Amino acid sequence: MIGTAQARRSPVAKVGDEDLERLLLIRHFELTLLELFERGALNGTTHTCLGQEHIPVALSPLLGEDDFVFSNHRGHGHFLARYPDPHGLLAEIMGREGALCGGVGGSQHIYHERFLSTGVQGESLPVAVGVALRLKRTTHGGLACAYIGDGTFGEGSVYEALNMAQLWRAPLLVVVENNGIAQSTPTAAQLAGTVAARAEAFGIRHQRFAGVDLAWIRDELGPLVTAVRQTSGPLVVEFAAHRIGPHSKGDDTRSEQERLHAERSGWHRAYAEAFPEQFARIDARQRELVARVATEVAARPPVARPPVARPPVARPTGAAARSSAGERP
Partner 1 sequence: MTRAERIVDNLNQALHQVMADDPSVHVLGEDIVDPYGGAFKVTKGLSTRYGSRVMATPLSEGGIVGVGAGLALAGDKAIVEIMFADFAGLAFDQLLNFASKSTMMYGRRVEIPLVVRCPTGGGRGYGPTHSQSLQKHFIGIPGLSVFEMSPFHDARELLPHLLSLGEPCLLFEDKVLYTRRAYQQGEVEDLFTFDLVGPPPYVARVRLGDGSEPDCTLIAPGGVAHRALSAMRALLLNDEITCQLLVPARLYPFDPGPLLPLLEGTRLVCVAEESTAGGTWGSEVAHRLHRHLWGSLPLPVSVVHSAPDVVPTALHLERDVLIQDTTIREAVLEALA
CA dihedral 123, 61, 150, 248 (to 10 degrees): -80
Is residue 197 part of the contact set for partner 1 (CB under 8 A)? no
Segment contacting partner 1 (CB under 8 A): 38-46, 79-87, 202-210, 278-286?
38-46
Segment contacting partner 1 (CB under 8 A): 9-17, 31-39, 58-66, 183-191?
183-191
What is the number of other CB atoms lying within 10 angstroms of the CB of residue 126?
A: 18
Angle at 30 between CA 27 and CA 31, to 5 degrees: 85
Among residue numbers 102 through 131, which ones bind partner 1 (CB under 8 A)? Answer: 102-109, 118-122
Nearest to partner 1 of 3, 156 (CB atom) = 156
Nearest to partner 1 of 139, 157 (CB atom) = 157
Is residue 321 part of the contact set for partner 1 (CB under 8 A)? no
Mark 9-46 as b/e (b = at least 16 C-beta within 10 Å).
Answer: beebeebeeebbbbbbbbbbbbebbbebbeeeebeeeb
Question: Which one of 40, 137, 138, 156 is in contact with partner 1 (CB under 8 A)?
Answer: 156
Q: How far is the CB of 111 from partner 1 (least distance, A)?
A: 11
Is residue 269 part of the contact set for partner 1 (CB under 8 A)? no
CA distance 68 to 131: 8
Q: How far is the CB of 267 from partner 1 (least distance, A)?
A: 27
139: left (phi over 0), alpha (psi -120 to 50) or beta: beta
Segment contacting partner 1 (CB under 8 A): 232-240, 277-285, 298-306, 315-323?
298-306
Is residue 45 part of the contact set for partner 1 (CB under 8 A)? yes
Nearest to partner 1 of 248, 265 (CB atom) = 248
Nearest to partner 1 of 183, 278 (CB atom) = 183
Is residue 314 part of the contact set for partner 1 (CB under 8 A)? yes
Nearest to partner 1 of 30, 92 (CB atom) = 92
Positions that interact with partner 1 (CB under 8 A): 43-45, 92, 94-95, 99, 102-109, 118-122, 151-156, 182-185, 189-191, 251, 253, 302-303, 305, 310-311, 314
